[in-house]
Structure 1
Amino acid sequence: MKISYSSSAKTTKPAVEQGLKVDYAAAKRGAYKARWYMLLAVIILPMLFILWLLLRPQLLVLAPGIVTTDPLELRAPVTARLLNIAVTEGQQLQPGSLLLQLHNPQLDAQIAELQNQLAQLAQPVNTANAAILQQREAGIRIAEQAVVQQSEYMDSYRNFKRSGLVLTHEMAAVQQTLTNAKLALEQAKTDVIQLRQQQEVEQLAGSVAQARRQLKQALAQLQAQQEQLQIRAVASGHVIDIQVKRGEFVQQNQPLLLLSNRPQPVIFAYLAPKYLDYAKPGAKASVTLPNGDKVRAEVTEPAQLLERLPAKLAGPFDGEQAVLKLTLTPQQPVTGVEGVPVEVSFDYLW
């Protein structure tokens, strides 16, 4: 038997009760769903983020890096005062260009003192040696005059002998006197030569000579230090940064200038050796800057093997693992502070 029910007024007009309109509140099931989904999101999203951080190094070929112009740091050779800065930031340089001029008053005083000691040490010895040598040379002149006189006597006695006025033994005596005069002349010359040799030996090997050599060596070292106060460029390039001011008193080994021979900044990336295939010139990569910008770059130089990651990029758990140092050239200019850290993501090699 089929049972049928008659419809009531609520079926057609659920918001009317005994002729009066009754407003019901909206269903709350949607709010509950929203709160449930939000709770799931709060729980799941951090887990997904942590999972991504853990899996990202395994899924991508990543390497830490820095933006750099590969600068050469010039340091003060000695403690001195900066007299002049001959360059400006960005200036192009040629080999031998004057960069900085330093002045060290103590160094000047030491050089002057050594020069004075050398002059005092050399003057008395040279004067005494010259006087002795002049005396011996005067002996040569006297011996020469004696030879000349005896030669004249010999000529006269020869004339007398031809005239029969001189006996043979007298002629022999004159001849012997001339011979003795010539021997005395040769002996005087020999004495002068020996004296000069002796003086040279004393100058080279004597105590005074040793002291003079020590002073000259010390003077040469100080003069070399003084020459280093004129700081010049050793190669072509340009000035990256000037780290001192004119008139400043700088300490030894204090940084003065940063120079570079690269026209534009490059990226130094430090890649794990297991990714050796990505270290070849021509490999492509994306570089993420600290502000989030990304630039494309290409490996342009052969890789170098380093014993460890640079200290500024190394983490507490990196240890001393070897890394490959890569040089990447950005495809568009990169401006930033020298040494700013970046992240390099290499394109997959399919």
Structure 2
Amino acid sequence: MTKTQSTPSHLPHAWRLLGLLCMALGGLAGCTPAADSPVAPGAIQPPPSTVAVARGKIEVDGGLLDLATAIDGTVQQIAVREGQQVQAGQLLLKVHDEDLRAELAVAQSSYQLAQAKHKALTTKLPLLQAQLKRLQAAARDGAADLQEVDNAQAALRNAQSEAEVAQAEVKLAQSKTQQLRERQRLYALYAPEAATVVHLQAKVGSQVHTSQAAMRLLPLRPLRIRAELNESFAGAVQKGMRASVVLDNDSSSPLPEARVLRINPMYGPSTLQDDAQRGPLRVVECVLEFETAPSNLRVGQNVRVSFHE
């Protein structure tokens, strides 16, 4: 007799559970957006791919200004203090100039004297010209002889020559006075542009020299990032590339985005990193500018830069 195979009673229930599970998975798959579907507004975007990283330092465009006096001497006056903001042309420092001021006083007196002499001589000319005309008219009428006319002409010529000489003396005295005033400006140090005084090397009574800076200024210019690219990253970074920047000791506070402004075409030694075994690394300097002006940044702060495609 043939034995009939029976189906266990629990199998229909298992098949029903499997069917419900497939339907649930199919529903979830239908709710998942496609890879090319638009990202909903406000969704967190994945970070752009990083092609290079570098260490950098915050600098001011063009660098700090180390100012020295135009002449050697003793400081008479310091007109500013550290931390003070100054405007272009503002007096910063003066060097003692007593000898020059005495020479300038003499030159100014000579200039005034030359002006007075020239004025006196030019005042005489109209009188001598009028006298000559009267004698010439009288000579034509026979009321004066020709000798008187000749004497009047000679007197006028002499007066004109003296006035010309006096005018030349005025110009000479004026030129000397102007030269001394220009020399006097060399005894003073003025701000070349708007800036903040960050350090005073000179003090009242101290000696200053043309070869040594008397003070250092921080110009009110945009801040830049000078980053150092290792040799392995040098070819991956291009001008105009975007970069994210964070402080070296505070990565939780990102700075405004930056862009590559220029890349040095030469290799040089690193000033921000080195290898204990091989010594200073060879790097390529890269200068970046911020898209928006950052706040609460100081020149000299170290940063980390990530370059993106």
SS of 2:185 mapped into structure 1: helix
**Residue 90 (structure 2) aligns with:** 97
Q: 1:218 to 1:65 in 2, by over 3 A?
A: farther
Name which of 59, 65, 73 aligns with 1:80: 73
Whether 1:68 aligns to 2:84 is: no
How many residues align? The count is: 247
Q: Normalising by structure 1, what TM-score? A: 0.49
Map 1:109-188 → 2, pairs under 5 A: 109-111=102-104, 141=131, 144=134, 176-178=141-143, 180=144
1:172-218 deviations in Å (ceiling 9; x for gaps): xx97414x569955x6665455335434555678xxx6xx84x7656
Q: Which runs of 5+ in 1 are unaligned?
A: 1-58, 151-173
**Residue 28 (structure 2) aligns with:** none
Name which of 182, 197, 201 aligns with 1:243: 201
For 2:245, the aligned partner's letter is A
1:233-290 deviations in Å (ceiling 9; x for gaps): 343333222232233221124322333343886533355874453x4275323453xx
Q: 1:101 to 1:198 in 2, by over 3 A?
A: same
For 1:220, the aligned partner's letter is Q
CA RMSD of superposed structures (Å): 5.2
User: Does the 8 Å CA contact 2:68/2:209 hold for their aligned counterparts?
Assistant: no
Structure whose residues are more often strand by fraction: 2
User: Does the 8 Å CA contact 1:143/1:184 hold for their aligned counterparts?
Assistant: no
Whether 1:347 aligns to 2:287 is: no
The whole-number CA distance in structure 2 between the counterparts of 1:113 and 1:175 is 52
SS of 1:66 mapped into structure 2: strand
Shift of residue 224 of structure 1? 1.3
Map 1:3-14 → 2, pairs under 5 A: none
User: Does the 8 Å CA contact 1:267/1:330 hold for their aligned counterparts?
Assistant: no
Give the percent of matched residue pairs that are identical in Structure 1 and Structure 2.
19
For 1:227, the aligned partner's letter is R
For 2:200, the aligned partner's letter is I
User: Does the 8 Å CA contact 1:296/1:332 hold for their aligned counterparts?
Assistant: no
SS of 1:224 mapped into structure 2: helix
Structure whose residues are more often helix by fraction: 1
Q: Normalising by structure 2, what TM-score? A: 0.54
- Residues 225-234 or 295-304, more deviating: 295-304
Q: 1:254 to 1:105 in 2, by over 3 A?
A: farther
Q: Which runs of 5+ in 2 are unaligned?
A: 1-49
**Residue 180 (structure 2) aligns with:** 222
User: Does the 8 Å CA contact 1:83/1:103 hold for their aligned counterparts?
Assistant: yes
